[in-house]
Amino acid sequence: MSAVTDTAPAATPAARFGQSVRDSLVVAQRNLIRMTRIPEMVIFGLIQPIMFVVLFSYVFGGSLQVGGTTDPSVYREFLMAGIFAQTVTFATAGAGAGIADDMHKGLIDRFRSLPMARGAVLTGRTLADLVQTALTLFVLAMVALLVGWRTHTSIGEVLGAFGLLLLFGYAFTWVGALIGLSVRTPEAATSGGLIWLFPVTFVSTAFVDSGKMTPWLGHVADWNPFSATVQACRRLFGNPGGSPSDAWPMQHPVWASLIYSVVIILIFRTLAVRKYRSAAA
């Protein structure tokens, strides 16, 4: 009977919030331990964006025109914000696959039978993914420096750009969480988490100017949350930004990126937590 008396119920909102944070950190720790036990996952997660940097820099570098020049070094600086942003969104697939795997193996049932905060399993997972994303971004930035990428602003602005990228990536892990809860297998979550990312990341200003697209596609690209984050990073890094259109998110990319990220988190966190509550393996 000690169970009943030892664990005081979380009564006040403050106590509930405290429990929520504690439980999330316990789950985050669990997921981080897993990552250290499956290092190949982290390594593959690093190789892919590095490949993108090298491929885009050297294959497309000389042939794409940015800001009126085809100078490869200009394109390299233009490109890097796009690669960074694409990399953080790919964390979606990891979060989705991880949660689908937990569902599949019955771990979600174990968690749901415990007196823990409801959103903690998902929050813990997304926090662990955030740590991995930060690590990936760091390695990627080093590689980018090696191939000639430079920033031309204050350290504060550069860190601000990385902050925006992490927030944006974090928002996308909540999309991944919802996908992971909605599919039957981890494999489906991986492909389901990636497929839609290709149009999202390519119909954007990440790799080419939106002005060079068909007008309607250009509009989509201008209002794409992904473009806003990419453009915000270019501005904060002091990298060439192509010729952004007059669309509001392109003119105020930092604000636009912040707003988009927060809205995505609010919507997808709500949906994912609701789905988690009724989830059945």
Least distance from other proteins to the Cβ atom of residue 39, Å:
11
Stretch that binds other proteins, among 19-27, 48-56, 227-235, 251-259 (CB under 8 A): 19-27
State how far the Cα of 91 lies from the Cα of 262, in Å rounded to an integer: 17
Per CB under 8 A, 38 contacts other proteins? yes
> Positive or negative CA dihedral for 114, 119, 19, 42?
positive
Q: Contact, 262 vs 172, CB < 8 A? A: no
CB atoms within 10 A of CB 138: 11
Least distance from other proteins to the Cβ atom of residue 127, Å:
15
Stretch that binds other proteins, among 33-41, 185-193, 204-212, 235-243 (CB under 8 A): 33-41
Report the largest interatomic distance among the alpha carbons of the chain, rounded to a whole angstrom. 75
Select from 75, 84, 111, 226 the one that contacts other proteins (CB under 8 A).
111
Per CB under 8 A, 281 contacts other proteins? yes
Least distance from other proteins to the Cβ atom of residue 35, Å:
9
Per CB under 8 A, 23 contacts other proteins? yes
Ranges of beta strands (E only) in 36-102 are none
Which of residues 41 and 213 has its CB atom nearest to other proteins in the complex?
A: 41
CB atoms within 10 A of CB 36: 8
CB atoms within 10 A of CB 127: 19
Q: Please tell me whether residue 82 adopts helix, strand or coil conformation.
A: helix
Per CB under 8 A, 116 contacts other proteins? yes
State how far the Cα of 249 lies from the Cα of 256, in Å rounded to an integer: 5
Q: Please tell me whether residue 65 adopts helix, strand or coil conformation.
A: coil
Stretch that binds other proteins, among 30-38, 127-135, 191-199, 249-257 (CB under 8 A): 30-38
Least distance from other proteins to the Cβ atom of residue 101, Å:
10
Q: Residues interacting with other proteins, by CB under 8 A?
A: 1-4, 6-10, 19, 22-23, 26-27, 29-30, 33-34, 37-38, 104-107, 109-116, 120, 278, 280-281
